[in-house]
Amino acid sequence: MTGNRVPDVSAGTGHDEDSAVTENAALPDNAIDFHGARFVAPAGSLTGLALRVARLDKDPHRPRYHFLPRAGEFFQDTIPFFWKGVYHVFFQYAPDEWAGDKCVWGHVRSTDLVHWEELPVAITNGPEQYDRALCASGCVLSHEGKVHIFYGGVDGETREETHCLATALDDDLIRWKKDPANPIMYRAELLPSEIYHPHGRWSDPDIWKEGDTWYMLLAASLSDQKTAAIPLYASKDLRDWSYVSCFYQAGAAPMRAMEYPHFFELDGRHVLFHHPWGMFTTFVEVGEHSDGLFVSQRRTHYDSARACATKTLLDDQGRRIAWSWVLEDRPAGAESRPLDSATRRAGWSGLMSLPRQLRVAADGALLMEPPVELEALRGRHTQLPSFWLGTENRQEAPGQINSQLLLDGVLGDCVEIIARIRPQGARQFGLLVRCAPDFTEAARIGIDLEDGKLSFDNTHGSLDSEVFRTVRKVDLPMAEDGLVTVRAFVDRSVVEVFANGNRACITGRTYPNRPDSLHVGLFCAGGGIRCEGIDIWEMNSIYEAAGSAESKRSGDTADRFEFANITDEEREILGWPKS
């Protein structure tokens, strides 16, 4: 059985002007509204795609205020672009579950950094040979009043990497046309073989303009195939490119490629992001750029291994805003997408991080903070006064919890938490989120004073044996007065944490099995802590404003739509009572 997707959400292929987008059509009475998109079930039956969408609506792990596509896999880099007052984010997307390298460019937009409208697919691979095998990562830029996508392609016959252009045909950036001169760049013509490996990476274009010259970075490997490098190219017209120099190369640690390079200027410093091949993280290099070379003066991790391939935009307020690809943490032991896994059975994978406003501190540290617009999501507020937990100077084995408690009257799987904690002898302490009443499930946001680390510990986050269990850590600079501030955004299975004046951020995933794993708590080890106040807000769904099915998530899907002839098997999938 198959479901039909109504034309107003059909993908535009970007192959030519006539086929770039499908016109809107009248919606039949049996259309289902989900995340701002409309799906049609065959007359009198809830089947196929419509059944899958309704099932996803009930998934207790599916985030409510992070954006993710209506179904399928969100993966690889986010590609943000600001145009005429609107925030656009493009992303690599497999709309059919686990379509491998047959990905497309998904597209969402927002006017407030909070609510996102999912638009038709921007471009897909093919039908021409030069990108038939893959329509890969790239960047978006404006030139002479037009907006262009510059992206990597893979030739369907030779499997050679190419670089291509597509141009928007409207200011909404919905209709796209691939350039008839594609491909714009071939590796064999533009990659010096005496410096770079001829069969290594040559991908992920990142482009900016200085004066009247365009510059491009690509991910590549040196001729030894062990050292990652980022070559620099220059052009006056985005079409004729010439090699300039090796902009940056990896240090002593072997690294085959630095994927998704992204370069920008911020607060008088030059910043380079890159994603080490095979490692799910983004490195931040803060340094200086001149004469075609970048010299790093400070390297840090942007986040943990669950938020990566980060890119940014500059908005009309002069703010540098960043987004990341947030990965799943299931099934256990597998970073790939096996055919039989909890992730595949769920029918969705990956999502877009919350936006982060970036600044560079005087010491060269990258500071990341949630933009003020996110406060619009706040609902009911609970404020707790200061209190004591644990015993001062009590000595315990390292990492052993000697005190933990649940906060009275605080429940929720979608909350924002701001906690101010002053250690009083404790060496490890932090927050418990998605916690069961008896602590059998709990994810831990930890601060380790001895190691100077912020951590996300999901080893006891779920009773599900398929969940990937690990402790992820990032460096945490400490405040001189000893006060630790933690701001956590909990959105069902995803948690984003900002600590100590936004000098450290970490993203984690947790998939509790128990429906009552909704508590928030604190823990400490090796001594006591004084909590100097906690503010907690319930967070509203970003889909409620669109009037989608999620706005009535507490109700039953069966109460909102009437379908005849639904089988008992379909009812069981949806959690409906049998007929």
Report the range out of 41-55, 161-175, 322-336 with the highest average pLDDT.
161-175
CA 545 to chain centre: 22
Residue where one domain finishes, among candidates 337, 368, 399: 368
pLDDT score recorded for residue 433: 98
- Cα 123 to Cα 151: distance, rounded to the nearest angstrom: 10
The pLDDT of residue 28 is 39
Based on the domain organization, do 191 and 310 belong to the same domain?
yes
Q: Which carries the bigger pLDDT value, residue 6 or residue 323?
A: 323
Q: Is the pLDDT of residue 41 over 70?
A: no
Same domain membership, residue 251 and residue 172:
yes
User: What pLDDT score was predicted for residue 559?
Assistant: 32
What percent of the chain stands above pLDDT 90?
63
Quick one: which of 69, 104, 235, 117 has its CA closest to 176? 104
DSSP secondary structure code for residue 96 in this structure: S
Q: For residue 562, is pLDDT > 90?
A: no
Whether 439 has a pLDDT exceeding 80, the answer reads yes
Which CATH number do you get for residue 197?
2.115.10.20
Q: Are residues 363 and 387 in the same domain?
A: no
Structural domain includes residue 78:
yes
Please spell the DSSP secondary structure of 463-499, one letter per residue. Answer: S-TTS---EEEEE-PPPTT--EEEEEEEETTEEEEEE
Both 246 and 342 in one domain: the answer is yes
- The reply to whether 420 falls in a domain is yes
- Choosing from 349, 368, 387, the residue where a domain stops is 368
- Output 251 or 450, whichever has higher pLDDT: 450
Number of domains, the chain: 2
Does residue 405 sit in the same domain as residue 324?
Answer: no
Domain edge (last residue) among 315, 342, 368: 368
Asked if the structure places residue 469 within a domain, the reply is yes
Same domain, 206 and 257: yes
The pLDDT, as a whole number, for residue 339 is: 44
3-state secondary structure of 348: strand
Q: Kindly state whether residues 163 and 70 are assigned to the same domain.
A: yes
Average pLDDT rounded to a whole number, residues 114-127? 93
Asked whether residue 230 falls in the same domain as residue 275, the answer is yes
| Phi, psi of 574, rounded to the nearest 5 degrees | -80, -10
Question: Amino acid identity, residue 515?
Answer: P
Residue 53: pLDDT band with limits 50, 70, 90: low
Query: Highest mean pLDDT range out of 193-197, 477-481, 553-557?
Result: 477-481
Per-residue pLDDT reduced to its tens digit, 212-258: 999 999 998 888 777 889 999 999 999 999 999 999 998 755 677 88
* Strand ranges in 267-347 using DSSP code E only, listed in sequence order: 269-276, 283-290, 293-301, 307-314, 320-326
Closest CA to 523 of 385, 418, 394, 405: 405
Residue 565 lies in a domain: no
pLDDT tens, 69-110? 887 889 888 999 999 999 999 999 887 654 445 678 999 999
Left if phi > 0, otherwise alpha if psi is -120 to 50, otherwise beta: which for 267?
left
Contact 436, 519 (CB under 8 A): yes
Give the mean pLDDT of the chain.
83
Question: Is 336 in the same domain as 394?
Answer: no
Per-residue burial over 116-153, b = 16 or more CB atoms within 10 Å of its CB, e = otherwise:
bebbbbbbbbbebebbebbbbbbbbbeeeeebbbbbbb
**pLDDT at position 359, please?**
98
Residue 307 lies in a domain: yes
Q: 578 falls in which pLDDT band (50, 70, 90)? A: low
Residue 484, domain CATH: 2.60.120.560
Q: Is there a single domain that holds both residue 279 and residue 220?
A: yes
Cα 537 to Cα 77, 434, 505: the distances in Å are 30, 15, 20
pLDDT at 563 over 90: no
Over residues 402-425, the pLDDT tens digits come to: 799 999 999 999 999 999 999 999
Domain assignment present for 333: yes
How confident is the model over 270-321, as pLDDT tens digits? 999 999 877 888 999 999 999 999 999 999 999 988 999 999 999 999 999 9
Q: pLDDT for 507-530, tens place per residue? A: 999 999 999 999 999 999 989 999
With respect to residue 545, please indicate whether it lies within any of the assigned structural domains.
no
Q: Tell me: the pLDDT tens digits for 368-384? A: 999 999 999 999 999 99
Q: Which of 13-17, 201-205, 366-370 has the lowest mean pLDDT?
A: 13-17
The pLDDT of 159-185, averaged and rounded, is: 95
Looking from the CA of 101 toward its CB, the CA atoms found within 13 Å total 13
The span from the CA of 444 to the CA of 201, in Å, is 38
* 390: nearest Cα among 433, 423, 358: 423
Domain span including residue 458: 379-539
Select the more confidently predicted residue: 409 or 25.
409
Cβ atoms within 10 Å, residue 317: 9
Asked whether the predicted pLDDT for residue 502 surpasses 50, the reply is yes
Residue 575 in this model has a pLDDT that exceeds 70: no
More confident residue, 38 or 306: 306
- 428 lies in the same domain as 337: no
Structure confidence at residue 297 (pLDDT): 96
Please report whether residue 8 resides in a domain: no
What is the pLDDT at residue 541?
95
Supply the pLDDT for residue 345: 77
Q: For residue 448, is pLDDT > 70? A: yes
424 in the same domain as 358? no
